[in-house]
């Protein structure tokens, strides 16, 4: 594939600051000579973008009346600055007025959308219509929205590494039922937790001691989930794999490098492949995942990938004791190496 020329091009990047993936992308763009302005694309407090959030109608009403997203993002824009490209990753802070404002000074600007979360998790359907080109990491979304599919990117300097132990690697943040699944994996399968870490960091606006003591008396899903997250944040649960401060990207990579297996616990109903698993696949690691849809990908191989039930995660002894070694990384995986990914996105 011919490398896309970005020398001297001005790029406005609206992107989540997730682990170090924004730095990986910016470094590659700047390495090609692009001039990049970065704005963090984050979810504002009490945002209504999740279809399953509580008090959604009220949240949406407040955001609409006070125009919260636009009032936040317009302060960070440089509307009179020249841009050749606007790349928006995910839709948390997207407002159609961003594009109209940019086009006032940049009539020929090319606008690109990439979704690395599913529209099942966040209500972004329709924003693809405001962009010249749109992509999704989720194969089902790409069909539903009639946009192009491409998996999440991974760094180009990743090399196939000889693992140094039989540990299972997992580093991720708590969401949905991830804590419960991870706890079952650890306790029911007697696995080492040396390289397993769950980050607890979200304290929402209704984090309240009195509400916790009231809701814990009830047995409905909302109350149970609220009580669990409150106890995790307040360190009332003391599982040894929990952590409360992020670790560096170098530490994460070192833990992955030395591990034979990589565990993936995807958000329920999400079928796209996350960055971390793409990196692991590019390294030839064996994957343990709750994502049963992975069977539909071209690279699926039962010797490399074990699908587990998130309600009863049993790790096959045969899989754990196999002597699997990959000969060649699948072309579908190579396509998402950061340099190839950029060529596709900006072509």
pLDDT higher than threshold 80 for residue 158: no
Residue 249: predicted pLDDT = 85
Domain 10-154+336-346 has CATH 3.40.50: yes
To the nearest whole number, what is the mean pLDDT of the chain?
90
Mean pLDDT of 13-36: 93
Residue 64: predicted pLDDT = 82
Q: Tell me the pTM.
A: 0.90
* Residue from 276, 285, 264 nearest 153 by CA: 276
- The tokens describing 330, both together, are 């699948």
pLDDT band at 65 (very low <50, low <70, confident <90, very high): confident
Residue 61: predicted pLDDT = 82
pLDDT band at 71 (very low <50, low <70, confident <90, very high): confident
Helix H, strand E, coil C: the string for the chain is CCCCCCCCCEEEEEECCCCCHHHHHHHHHHHCCCEEEEEECCCCCCCCCCCCCCCHHHHHHHHHHHCHHHHHHCCCCCCCCCCCEEEEECCCCCCHHHHHHHHHHCCCCEEEEEECCCCCCCCCCCHHHHCCEEEECCHHHHHHCCCEECCCCECCCCCCCCCCCCCEEEEEECCCCHHHHHHHHHHHHCCCCCCEEEECCCCCCCCCHHHHHHHCCCCCHHHHHHHHHHHHHCCCCCCCCEECCCCCHHHHHHHHHHCCEEEECCCCCCCCCCHHHHHHHHCCCEEEECCHHHHHCCCCCCCCEEECCCCCCCCCHHHHCCCCCCCCCCHHHHCCEHHHHHHHHHC
15 backbone dihedrals φ, ψ, rounded to 5°: -150, 145
pLDDT tens column, 323-342: 888 888 899 999 999 999 99
Give the side-chain half-sphere CA count within 13 A for 94.
30
Q: Rounded to an integer, what distance in angstroms lies between the CA atom of residue 35 and that of residue 119? A: 31
Residue 51: predicted pLDDT = 57
pLDDT higher than threshold 60 for residue 1: no
pLDDT band at 161 (very low <50, low <70, confident <90, very high): low
Q: Is 269 left (phi over 0), alpha (psi -120 to 50) or beta?
A: left
pLDDT tens column, 273-307: 999 999 999 999 999 999 999 999 999 999 999 99
Residue 121: predicted pLDDT = 81
CA distances from 68 to 65, 130, 158, 321 (A): 8, 20, 40, 53
Percentage of the residues of the chain whose pLDDT score is greater than 70: 94
Domain 168-202+240-328 has CATH 1.10.357: no
Q: Hey, do 10-154+336-346 and 168-202+240-328 end up sharing a CATH topology, with the first three levels equal?
A: yes
pLDDT band at 93 (very low <50, low <70, confident <90, very high): confident
**Domain segments of the chain: what residues?**
10-154+336-346, 168-202+240-328
* Residue from 46, 45, 43, 68 nearest 58 by CA: 46
Residue 216: predicted pLDDT = 93
């Amino acid at each position: 594939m011919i490398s896309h020329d970005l020398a001297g091009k001005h790029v406005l990047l609206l992107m989540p600051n997730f682990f170090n993936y924004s730095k990986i992308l910016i470094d590659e763009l700047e390495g090609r000579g692009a001039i990049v302005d970065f704005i963090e694309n984050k979810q504002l407090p009490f945002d209504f973008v999740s279809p399953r959030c509580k008090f959604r109608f009220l949240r949406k009403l407040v955001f609409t009346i006070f125009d919260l997203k636009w009032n936040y993002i317009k302060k960070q824009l440089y509307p009179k600055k020249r841009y050749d490209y606007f790349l928006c990753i995910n839709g948390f802070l997207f407002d159609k007025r961003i594009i109209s404002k940019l086009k006032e000074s940049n009539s020929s600007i090319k606008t690109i959308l990439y979704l690395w979360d599913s529209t099942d998790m966040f209500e972004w359907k329709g924003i693809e219509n405001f962009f010249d080109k749109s992509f999704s990491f989720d194969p089902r979304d790409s069909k539903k929205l009639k946009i192009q599919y491409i998996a999440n990117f991974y760094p180009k300097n990743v090399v196939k590494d000889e693992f140094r132990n039989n540990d299972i690697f997992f580093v991720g943040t708590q969401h949905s039922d991830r804590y419960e699944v991870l706890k079952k994996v650890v306790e029911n399968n007697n696995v080492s937790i040396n390289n397993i870490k769950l980050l607890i960091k979200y304290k929402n606006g209704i984090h309240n001691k009195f509400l916790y003591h009231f809701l814990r008396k009830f047995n409905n899903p909302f109350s149970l989930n609220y009580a669990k997250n409150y106890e995790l944040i307040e360190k009332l649960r003391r599982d040894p794999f929990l952590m409360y401060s992020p670790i560096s990207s170098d530490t994460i990579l070192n833990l992955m490098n030395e591990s034979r297996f990589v565990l993936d616990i995807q958000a329920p109903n999400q079928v796209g492949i996350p960055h971390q698993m793409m990196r692991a696949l590019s390294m030839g690691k064996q994957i343990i995942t709750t994502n049963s849809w992975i069977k539909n990908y071209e690279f699926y191989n039962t010797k490399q990938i074990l699908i587990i039930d998130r309600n009863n995660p049993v790790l096959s002894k045969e899989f754990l004791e196999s002597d699997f070694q990959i000969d060649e990384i699948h072309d579908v995986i190579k396509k998402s190496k950061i340099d190839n990914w950029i060529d596709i996105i900006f072509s």
